[in-house]
Structure 1
């Protein structure tokens, strides 16, 4: 008599008689969920909440001292124009993962006593409200309960799979009309299984033959029904099976903001290949992956070409053990791999090739260790370095961190290839010993370029974050210009007696977005979100090719 109601409340944490929610008047952008006592409520967010000052902590599940409306934008429930949202309080978590999504950079947090989840307002007085929350009950990895409970599905839905998908379909004459129709049915089945939608997966199609062409892009259709209708209208173009050309095309032309690319969603290209391509694929495949595209090859009626395996398994950016390849013995078995493909595409934890602002850089800190800093303030600077570093996804194939300390002289504290885990980097930062001496910032920039950034990987963004508390004894303009011209994005962080003209000269243009000045060391921490936000905004504004 006690257990059953408890289970019902766990799985259905809503008023089961009416599914009614408390209405809260329009929120201000800075209102935190913890300030509202209702366990679940409907509220309206005003326009203009997409701002760094409205702090958000977490991804999907947010710490309760996050901005409610900021979290709603980050989750994709609303955009910067505002709108109605549905909020439910849930238990606190031991860790909240920061991420960049929909123009908002959420921060990570070790733990907090209360959380909340946010969704759009659906039917206010029916069970659809409950269904809209099914993805929030348990994470995909932690789900240990039955997938059906009192007739309500609690299975992790693939609509939670927020990915941007491009299907490269074979339109060559070699597959014939019947197989082309089977391919179209396969695409319809995948679209139905994915449950296409603006909060989940979006899907576009490129047909290739002699030349590739876009049938429809990511923003053309935003539900499975429309996608399936569009697939039915696709006619076979014929020609050769030029997969390489198709991959080059998708790299340069498909995942663009103007075509519906969402920035925060992984980019995935699924290539259907009948037998052997008629052009070279390896280089095009490598370039696509280095542009952050996760490529899945579905080969039908033929062995996976050897160079597909090489590209998939040995590229440093993508060590996957066959995760990205599916071989189908016959076109008539193609329908059997729908679930397998969808499961892999939606396993975003394993989409190793997806470049984001947090996993695609070599970041070198250039740290002023001069006498004016002092031992105590130097530890504060190191904490600032650690606070920035821990926001990134650090590994030998993701973001890498290096550090240089300087006075009149320079010292390489550790290079990009030294530490391959976040904890190792944080430990290494903590171990840096204060040097003390003069201030030769120009020489330090030259040294960092030669000892750190000259060893950066070709597919990595090179970011220098220089921190100083005074005017340099040597020229900074020449070394900074050399670094800029060689692709280093430079941020200057000045404290106390730092010279504003030097900070602007060091910083990449526009210098106001790449330079920071704080009057006291103890205020450094305030600028961590601003620097991260700028790095992410800049990354997402860059072309993919």
Structure 2
């Protein structure tokens, strides 16, 4: 991984996970949070905005850190080590954004991201299984967790997923996640942890006012042990933190490049492996 790209993702992840939202440019803060969306969880998240410290560099209006900050970060923070997670035995449901802002080439980067995670875990009826939801103007369940029970056919199915080039209806993805879990169409197995992972490059553009309430319904159902929210580029950090079952499970970077996604994938894999112990 090139030093500069790696430093940027570390800077982005630390700014989100350790400092809340203060590292965001002011024009990105709460740009989508309407009065209807200010639920109790959202108020808790936003309340952290004005009470954070910056241990990396002086807070700036720019979304891009200085070279001095990048160099300092590279020297003091190690890369997340590559991990394998053969012991994980869970039902994983990925919700993948197919909006027009992504483009076909970068959609393939999302597909590679999911494929790399699947490559780290064991797939089988007594091991881990994977379901896929794609969302654009609406959300579609492409296959449930019981459709593919071996890694070879699962990876082939993931690589053949269709890019919609539509809008970003995150609420529809979360609603379908919950509905399919409750009515059995997702095929979730009893006795196995259920983990949901949302991957997006931007903020909600359809049914915006329903995104956070729907996420709260997912959390309240207690069906999913963990809900991760992975965002790059124009994703809204407040929204990601509200979607995640815990703010620490929201992973974010301003950049949308291979090196950044690789680091996010390693961080997510590390968390998934830790959840299996």
Q: What TM bracket, shorter-length normalisation?
A: 0.5 to 0.7
TM-score in terms of structure 2 length: 0.65
Shift in Å, 1:498? 0.5
Residue 377 to residue 460, structure 1, CA distance change in 2 (3 Å):
same
The answer to whether structure 1 residue 531 and structure 2 residue 268 are counterparts is yes
C-alpha distance in 1 between matches for 2:212 and 2:138: 18
The 5-angstrom pairing of residues 48-447 of structure 1 reads 53=79, 55=81, 98-99=84-85, 356=87, 358=88, 360-447=89-176
Query: How far 1:402 sits from its partner (Å)?
Result: 0.6
User: In structure 2, what is the equivalent of residue 79 of structure 1?
Assistant: none
Q: CA deviation at 1:56?
A: 5.5
**CA deviation digits over 1:21-48, x for unaligned, max 9?**
xxxxxxxxxxxxxxxxxxxxxxxxxxxx
Structure 1 residues 219-256: Cα deviation after superposition (integer angstroms, max 9, x where no partner)? xxxxxxxxxxxxxxxxxxxxxxxxxxxxxxxxxxxxxx
| 1:517/1:469 CA distance change after superposition, 3 Å | same
SS of residue matched to 1:479: helix
Quick check: 1:492 aligned with 2:229?
Answer: yes
1:52 and 1:363 map into 2 onto residues whose CA distance is: 28
The structure with the larger Rg is 1
d(CA) in 2 for partners of 1:482, 1:464? 14
Partners in 2 of 1:504 and 1:471 — Cα distance? 12
CA contact (8 A) 1:491 1:507 kept: yes
Measure, in 1, the Cα distance between the counterparts of 2:177 and 2:151: 21
Q: Give the number of aligned pairs.
A: 191
Normalised to the residue count of structure 1, the TM-score between the two structures is: 0.34
Q: Which has the higher contact order (CA 8 A, sep 6+)?
A: 2
Q: Which runs of 5+ in 1 are unaligned?
A: 1-50, 58-97, 101-355, 541-545
Contact 1:52 1:529 in 2 (8 A): no
Offset from partner CA, 1:475-501 (integer Å, 9 cap, x none):
321111111122311100111001111
Q: Secondary structure at the match of 2:120?
A: coil
Shift of 1:54: 6.1
Match of 1:468 among 174, 197, 200: 200
Name which of structure 1's ranges 457-466 and 469-478 shifts more when overlaid on structure 2: 469-478
Partner SS state of residue 383, structure 1: helix
Q: Are the aligned partners of 2:85 and 2:121 in contact in 1 as well (CA < 8 Å)?
A: no
Match of 1:483 among 218, 224, 245: 218
> Partners of 2:126 and 2:194 in 1: how far apart?
14
Q: Distance in 2 between the 1:54 and 1:377 partners?
A: 23
- What value does the CA root-mean-square deviation take over the aligned residues? 1.9
Closer, same or farther: CA 406–448 of 1 in aligned 2, 3 Å: same
Gap change, CA 1:380 and 1:516, over 3 Å in 2: same
Structure richer in helix, relative to its length: 2
Match of 1:503 in 2: 240
Change (3 A) 1:439 1:99: closer
Give 2:256's match in structure 1, choosing from 505, 520, 540. Answer: 520
Inter-CA distance 538–501: structure 2 relative to 1 (3 Å threshold) = same
